[in-house]
């Protein structure tokens, strides 16, 4: 029995994702540094309380966003898999009704309903007038594709080699 060919494509961050992620860590370091400076200058209680609050929040946000961000895309004849550190997502080809390219215009006025809007990528639940509600796994806003499945789900992913998506 022949093995199924699986193409693995890395998700590459856009400049915007780099800027948002880098800015998050700059703010985190600045806030933590401010708390440490407060402790050094004699505001021990305020600085320690600030550290106790800020440090776990920054760590939790970073761990969540990095863990659920799309890392790689695996495309085969039977499925499309978005590989993530936690809980990879698989879309079976047998359930796919359509795969269509999206333009920047299609993504205008998109609202984030729950997920990440730039920190380590764009992933989670989103909505706009054109598409309705959908789940997105992308690290750039170009080469976006809408995948509609038989169960009514809509997935938006970005793929650097769109020819692989169309193969069945």
| Spans of all domains in the chain | 13-68, 72-166
The residue with greater pLDDT, 35 or 81, is: 81
**Residues 87, 63, 145, CA angle at the centre, nearest 5°?**
50
What pLDDT score was predicted for residue 38? 82
Closest listed residue to residue 115, CA positions, set 106, 125, 107, 105: 125
Q: What confidence tens digit (pLDDT) does each residue in 90-134 have?
A: 999 999 999 999 998 999 999 999 989 999 999 999 999 999 999
Query: Is 80 exceeded by the pLDDT of residue 2?
Result: no
Question: How many whole angstroms separate alpha carbon 150 and alpha carbon 49?
Answer: 51
Q: What is the reported pTM?
A: 0.87
Q: Locate the DSSP E strands across 33-164.
A: 72-75, 79-83, 89-92, 96-102, 111-117, 122-128, 132-138, 144-149, 154-158
Q: In what order do the strands lie in the sheet with 7-10?
A: 7-10, 72-75, 79-83, 89-92
């Amino acid at each position: 029995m022949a093995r199924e060919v699986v193409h693995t494509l890395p998700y590459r961050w856009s400049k915007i994702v780099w800027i948002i992620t880098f800015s998050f860590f700059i703010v985190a370091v600045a806030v933590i540094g401010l708390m440490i400076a407060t402790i050094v200058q004699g505001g021990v209680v305020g600085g320690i309380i600030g550290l106790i609050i800020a440090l776990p929040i920054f760590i939790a946000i970073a761990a969540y966003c990095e863990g659920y961000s799309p890392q790689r895309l695996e495309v085969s004849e039977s499925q499309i898999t978005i590989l993530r550190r936690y809980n990879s997502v698989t879309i079976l080809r047998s359930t796919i009704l359509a795969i269509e390219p999206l333009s920047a215009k299609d993504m205008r006025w998109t609202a984030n309903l729950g997920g990440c809007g730039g920190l380590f990528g764009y992933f989670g639940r989103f909505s706009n007038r054109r598409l309705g509600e959908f789940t997105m796994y992308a690290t750039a806003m170009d080469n976006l594709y809408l995948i509609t499945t038989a169960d009514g789900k809509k997935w938006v992913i970005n793929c650097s080699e769109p020819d692989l998506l169309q193969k069945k």
